[in-house]
Structure 1
Amino acid sequence: MDSTAPAPAPTAVGPASGEGSEDALGILSRVFGYDAFRGQQAAIIDRLASGGDAVVLMPTGGGKSLCYQIPALLRPGTGIVISPLIALMADQVAALEAVGIRAAFLNSTLEPYEAQMVEQRFLAGELDLLYMAPERLVLPRTIQLLQRAPLSLIAIDEAHCVSQWGHDFRPDYLGLAMLPEAFPGVPRVALTATATRATHEELTQRLRLEGAEHFVASFDRPNIQYRIEPKASPREQLLRLITAEHEGESGIVYCLSRKSVETTAQWLADRGIPALPYHAGLDAAVRRDHQERFLRAEGLIMVATIAFGMGIDKPDVRFVAHLDMPKSIEGYYQETGRAGRDGQPSTAWMAYGLGDVVSQRRFIDQSEGTEEFKASARAHLDAMLALCETITCRRVQLLRYFGQDGEPCGNCDTCLHPPQTWDGTVAAQKALSAVIRLDRERGQRFGAGHIVEVLLGKESERSRQGRHQELSVWGIGTEHSDREWRPVLRQLVARGCLEAVGDYGVLVLGPAAGPVLRGEETVQLAVDRAPSGRSRRGAAGGGGGSKPRAADSLSGEDARAFEALRAWRTSVAQEKGIPPYMVFSDATLVGIVQARPTSTGALAGVSGLGAKKLADYGDQVLEVLAGLD
């Protein structure tokens, strides 16, 4: 079941419109067009529908939204959905309206008369769901408004934002602790796709959900192939990824700085790759336009800082690429989770280098947070480093970070192409000794580049001025090349044997250096992975070209029918001013092709096609199929 794809229903649904007898499964079928719930969805819905509170940890694409949408339709009153990004509320509401759910939003993008109309609809009981940001909800005027009409439930989306030690803290979320007093008896549900055990505990406490039932699904996203490779020429590496594996497909590219975002977007555009920039420094109207174009277009790439992406509902993002290392595994997991929401094979790719570590350390050291906050940030970064340098299954390490077990997946780079390892104990001791001698005998600290020069005995102005040729470590590492030494230093940083500190990333001994220097611990190092110049799509189970992954199994007349339906979908979406996936998902189009219905009754049996969409589009779909004969 693809619960990320919108599907139909009559103009009004649930008890709010006088239909109190229908159960959850009936709404799932009639409104959303699916025959069965996935995982814990049914249990969560039952908990909320019966008036209980819940905390839900479920991966992106796992169907979290259904967990509060259906109880809101089952219970009398309006469901309130708290969402952190107002830029996406209009699309979320449009997707609900497309399936016949009466929805609206209250935020600063509305004119005063528009907001008043929404409030009147709410007070008249004409809304099933009402979206708003946390800063609006906590206003006294909003609380008074919501207290004047029955509420079916309150859903707190992206609930990890309440965690002060998390990767995406939003101070406005702290005000939501007042909800049980302001709205006694109204069931609450906190939902997130990104939470460690510590964040889980913190959000439960801060949102005062101690009595809630907890539902924790596996964070595994088996359709995503995780790949991390060393930086060489990162933009060229990115271009190979796009042209070899994702040509004509939608993707997101994350960069660390605004300047890098703009130059990378332009660089791709100059090479014929449709790409747009997105960062907080752009004019609000430009950001809104770029976001809307990305959601509505097919095959467009968004190059962005982390300011872009939370809550993005576009199901057919086929790849997420990082040209710079994220600051935490939570951030990495959330950003990569924007790929493949439709369950089809997708790629999470990253180019990573020691310079990324230096940049992130500098951000932490220069931040205005407390020492406790900086220590937490460094711990997050260390975990991210370990993921980048692991020689075991990346998926297992990701799941372990979130407190879950997993087996080697066979669908990440370290599983598909296990890295070669070698006994790097002596090399590690030599590198650590070079750092010690430069510091203790010359009182000098250097970055990786000069450490390598000392190990190789390569003279430079710096070495001559510092008389480094006189050190006992001068030239002791000539058995390895410059290119071989750099990944050694990078891996020693990841292991905690070295630390990159200061504005220039000078290397100093880390806490794990002692046992290695004393010969008490051996060091297994990976042979550096060369940047891949070939497609790995075959290993991920996908095909080639620009055909959507959902249609990879189609050929001949079925492929022709799919493309005809896709063209029809695009024209309808343009006419209505909505993204194509709000008409039908690719998976639903494939279902239609495979069913080859000749009547609306047969069409109604396709997964993801409910009552309202059948009424809106059924005859048109049948006409498209008939025209192919």
Structure 2
Amino acid sequence: MTKEEILKTYYGYDAFRPGQEAMIDALLSGRDALAIMPTGAGKSVCYQVPALLLPGITLVVSPLVSLMRDQVTALVQMGVPAAFLNSTLTYRQYLLALDRARDGWYKIIYVAPERLETDGFRAFAQAAQISLVAVDEAHCISQWGQDFRPSYLNIPDFVASLPQRPPIGAFTATATPEVRDDIRRLLKLEHPAMVTTGFDRENLYFEVQEPRSKQTALLELVRSRPGKCGIVYCSTRRAVEDVCAFLQGEGMSATRYHAGLDAEERRKNQEDFLFDRVQVMVATNAFGMGIDKSDVRYVIHYNMPKDLESYYQEAGRAGRDGAPSSCILLYSGQDVRTARFLIEHGEPREDLDERTLERLRERDLQRLRRMAGYCGTRRCLRQYILEYFGERAPEHCDACYNCLHNFQEVDVSAEARAILRCVAQTGQHFGIGVITETLCGADTDKVRKYHMDQEPGYGVLRDFTQKEVRERIQFLLDEGILALSGGPYPVLELGERSAEIGEDGGPLTMRMLREDRPAPVKKAVQAELDGPAAELFQHLRALRARIARMQGVPAYVVFTDKTLREMALTQPTDLRAFQAVSGVGASKAERYGRQFLAEIAAFEG
């Protein structure tokens, strides 16, 4: 079979997505490869298609058991012989799986990085024909990444120990340029083919709210999405417990997930969410990596994450099927303080020296400042994220809160000059809080302690609230007119563009939200079904749910919502037309075609 035939037969797709074919060709030619693709862009196809064309076994190194189980379940549904080897198997199950692997039962085997160090697995790998090693979530190898996992550092030694070195494919969704360099260097990739398809997810809507009551805002968001699946992320276990109890008390279908629960409850709650027995998962960041639930329609962050890498990875779990989905962050100043505490009092890393630990803490604090900047910016939110990852982006996306809301351009030249004078006159020694309190003429302990009430700038912006002054400071930071120093206690400094804002400079305008007009209706990224097609779609979802329950698999493993939408629109009448629907491969057409065709025919009749 050709790669195109593999794609159609097993996955049901007629064409590769951007970047996939280049990665597949590189790996098939024996060349190492590194792909940076956003969540939902089809990274797994890049190594699964070569796995089916190469003669031996493909090993996929994956960080979480839930990821392995989901991937293997989906592959088996498509008719691909696959297995996983991890701690969820009993010893007898593990030995049986290893025996079957030796006998050539599987084309793809998922393993945890720790498994590569065991004597039994090494002995198997020495005797087997390993044609490809795929490293998923490759950013875990970098200590500068958000999910550093020391066991990933052992992957190159394992590959070097094989009788013949196979090509290595490395895949990640979120990696800054520095982390990408680490992946190349630490995995010892040899002249790898590089593919970066871009980080943008056009179907996602981004919004930051700063509500008076997070609980009230959250309840309104969940209630306004009846029947939709969503994830609510919290920064602490206590917050997960409180938020889940609150939603349940308000009659919402919700469950919880965090590392403090016993393994059985975590498994049950995760399955309840995956199998659509509950609609809302309230969780810490312990939940989600590798969860391939395609119909998550919204991700709400109840607390601000510590960095944009984590935020974008977690937010990206919405809308994996390409349908319109929302990513909403509920922000408060306390979130910054909580995140700073977690960074400064995290679990000690015994494998690192004090100097390296200090560098990591400083890097984490820098990331926190960029994350806080996202929460306060008036710029396009999508542009802010994409530029953080080194990607150029338009100034307006017309699909985030900041772009869609009615803003007016306000001249803030006078306030900007007052802020710059205050920063300069106080020696560039103070942070945002002290400068804000000084300009507003506040009577606080810090103002008195540093004698800021004796400064020329004291009270010059007393007609503005501290929130309004902070917004203007954030704007000046976004524009490069101000900058924040490094270190654990960053101070405001004059930025590269500060000289442009002289006393005789031109007007400086800032986008301000207009309160007198409602926001326009959000631009539709993908048309929602209506009329008979919408009704048929619900019938097909009900049939899918029945099949999934009988087979003991999540509903999206049978077919995604995107595939069901196309069925509802095209209403195929025979197996040939059914298999032409995107996402219907030969195995699934044979397994489910008659049932879905009968449902469509009954609806039409």
TM band (smaller chain):
0.7 to 0.9
Alpha-carbon distance between aligned partners in 1 of 2:559 and 2:321, rounded to the nearest angstrom: 12
Q: Which residue of structure 1 lines up, in the alignment, with residue 56 of structure 2?
A: 77
Q: Which residue of structure 2 lines up, in the alignment, with residue 234 of structure 1?
A: 214
Q: CA RMSD in A?
A: 3.4
Amino acid paired to 2:522: A
Classify the secondary structure of the residue corresponding to 1:214.
strand
Q: Which residue of structure 2 lines up, in the alignment, with residue 182 of structure 1?
A: 161
Alpha-carbon distance between aligned partners in 1 of 2:67 and 2:435, rounded to the nearest angstrom: 48
Q: Which residue of structure 2 lines up, in the alignment, with residue 477 of structure 1?
A: 461
Greater alpha carbon shift after TM alignment, 233-242 vs 255-264: 233-242
Greater alpha carbon shift after TM alignment, 77-86 vs 135-144: 135-144
Alpha-carbon distance between aligned partners in 2 of 1:338 and 1:64, rounded to the nearest angstrom: 14
1:537-616 equivalences under 5 Å are 538-541=521-524, 552-556=528-532, 558-616=533-591
* Change beyond 3 A, Cα 1:204–1:456: closer
Structure 2 residue runs without a partner (length 5+): 349-355
Shift of 1:334: 1.1
* Change beyond 3 A, Cα 1:97–1:127: same
Structure 1 residue runs without a partner (length 5+): 1-21, 543-548
Alpha-carbon distance between aligned partners in 2 of 1:266 and 1:587, rounded to the nearest angstrom: 32
TM-score, with length taken from structure 1: 0.84
Amino acid paired to 1:602: A
Shift of 1:52: 2.0
The CA deviation string for residues 116-168 of structure 1, in whole angstroms up to 9 with x for no partner, is 11001100001011111101123233121112121231110000110111111
1:115 and 2:100 matched: no
Shift of 1:456: 5.3
Identical amino acids, percent of aligned pairs:
38
* Change beyond 3 A, Cα 1:207–1:415: same
Alpha-carbon distance between aligned partners in 1 of 2:41 and 2:183, rounded to the nearest angstrom: 20
Shift of 1:174: 0.6
Greater alpha carbon shift after TM alignment, 589-598 vs 168-177: 589-598
Shift of 1:423: 4.4
2:234 to 255, 262, 272: 255
Classify the secondary structure of the residue corresponding to 1:119.
helix
Q: Which residue of structure 2 lines up, in the alignment, with residue 359 of structure 1?
A: 338
Classify the secondary structure of the residue corresponding to 2:270.
helix
Classify the secondary structure of the residue corresponding to 2:463.
coil
The CA deviation string for residues 554-601 of structure 1, in whole angstroms up to 9 with x for no partner, is 312x22222211111111111111111111111221222233233223
Q: Which has the higher contact order (CA 8 A, sep 6+)?
A: 1
* Change beyond 3 A, Cα 1:335–1:27: same
Alpha-carbon distance between aligned partners in 1 of 2:146 and 2:222, rounded to the nearest angstrom: 28
1:382 and 2:369 matched: yes
Amino acid paired to 1:413: Y
1:411 to 374, 387, 399: 399
TM-score, with length taken from structure 2: 0.87
Q: Which residue of structure 1 lines up, in the alignment, with residue 114 of structure 2?
A: 135
Q: Which residue of structure 1 lines up, in the alignment, with residue 353 of structure 2?
A: none
Q: Would you say the 8 A contact 1:241–1:535 is kept in 2? A: no
Alpha-carbon distance between aligned partners in 2 of 1:531 and 1:123, rounded to the nearest angstrom: 67
Amino acid paired to 2:372: L
Classify the secondary structure of the residue corresponding to 1:606.
coil
Amino acid paired to 2:186: R
Amino acid paired to 2:177: R
Q: Would you say the 8 A contact 2:410–2:512 is kept in 1? A: no
1:153-552 equivalences under 5 Å are 153-183=132-162, 184-244=164-224, 246-297=225-276, 300-367=279-346, 368=348, 370-407=357-394, 408-417=396-405, 419-424=407-412, 426-427=414-415, 448=433, 475-481=459-465, 484-485=468-469, 487-488=471-472, 509-512=491-494, 520=502, 526=510, 529=513, 538-541=521-524, 552=528
Q: Would you say the 8 A contact 1:251–1:319 is kept in 2? A: yes
Shift of 1:273: 2.1
Alpha-carbon distance between aligned partners in 2 of 1:366 and 1:490, rounded to the nearest angstrom: 27
